Amino acid sequence: MSDLDPKELRAALASYMTGVTIVTAQSPGGEPVGFTANSFTSVSLNPPLLLVCPGNHLSSFDAFSNASHFAVNILAEGQEAISNIFASSKGDRFGQVSWQADEYGCPLIDGAAAQFSCNQHQSVDAGDHLILIGKILSFHNAAKPGLGYCRDGYFSLNQERRSEAPAPRDTTIIAAALVELDGQLCVIKDTQGVHIPSVKIGDRAGARSAIAQHLVSIGIEAELGPVYSAFDDTDNANHVTVFRARLSKEPKAANCEFWPISTPMLTELKEPANPDMMRRYQHEYRNNQFGLYIGDAQRGEVHPAEPAQV
């Protein structure tokens, strides 16, 4: 038996960014079955093969093990709710979504970015999962952006691209990071006051690499997550892109302090932190449900990014 900590191993594996799929089939009794999966891989073009890995904890595991056909639905941006239904719902999952059966009786989810109907080409027992290899019999490509997932929740490349759109002239562009460690947030104390780690940059599209390099330069080694907030601070003529990050090593920065994420003092930090952003961050951290904010310091939209149980 392995001595590896399953919880820590799962967290490490979850750092790999993936797409999100709904795998479906028809049970021997003719009922539709399905589950959310990010264990999906293209295997071969000739012959056309793909694979998914249903876990033996699934109530529908036997149905997938014995199914002659199954389908894979790659979810599109905006289909987070469908992913959550098939990841956690115990009720009638298919009664909550719109779908059509393919010619083999496997459900195809309406609005998906792509859909693949397969027969079972091969199956391989692999620990607590089954490697299910399917031969693609037909497919549909809607040419929509796919829904992404990492351990911080869902993400959208289109939304991230919007955060990188050109800033108006005479705007100072700032990249910043919310660096977390065990329920605490890293803040920097210097001659400018107390603020989150940040750096001025020349191009919004270079925000990720710029803040990553800046963190290293001040003695903070952290793993950057997705964009958390992108907003125009018109009062100070700034455009701010903020990333979430996790500390990977004890910081070497002498002026780095860690404050509890729950402390009201976080809403009093100097720019580039925005009081509304910090209040939202505290609320979302408490509920483990994060979104991407795009707008200005007063008005904007939060694009939900609820964590999936995949």
**Which secondary structure element, helix H or strand E, spans residue 132, and what is its range?**
strand 129-141
Going by pLDDT thresholds of 50, 70 and 90, the confidence category of residue 117 is very high
Cis before 226? omega within 30: no
CA distance 50 to 228: 33
The pLDDT score that the predictor gives to residue 122 is 94
Indicate whether 289 pLDDT > 70. Answer: yes
Q: Are 132 and 55 in contact (CB under 8 A)?
A: no
**Nearest CA-CA partner of 106 in 1, 25, 44, 191:** 25
CA distance 159 to 152: 15
Q: Are 95 and 82 in contact (CB under 8 A)?
A: no
Indicate whether 307 pLDDT > 50. Answer: no
21: left (phi over 0), alpha (psi -120 to 50) or beta: beta
The pLDDT score that the predictor gives to residue 140 is 95
Indicate whether 157 pLDDT > 90. Answer: no
- Residue 82's φ and ψ, nearest 5 degrees, are -65, -40
Most confident stretch, 78-82, 206-210, 211-215 = 211-215
Indicate whether 264 pLDDT > 70. Answer: yes
Over residues 39-60, the mean pLDDT reads: 93
The pLDDT score that the predictor gives to residue 161 is 54
Going by pLDDT thresholds of 50, 70 and 90, the confidence category of residue 308 is very low
Q: Which two tokens stand for residue 267?
A: 């809403």
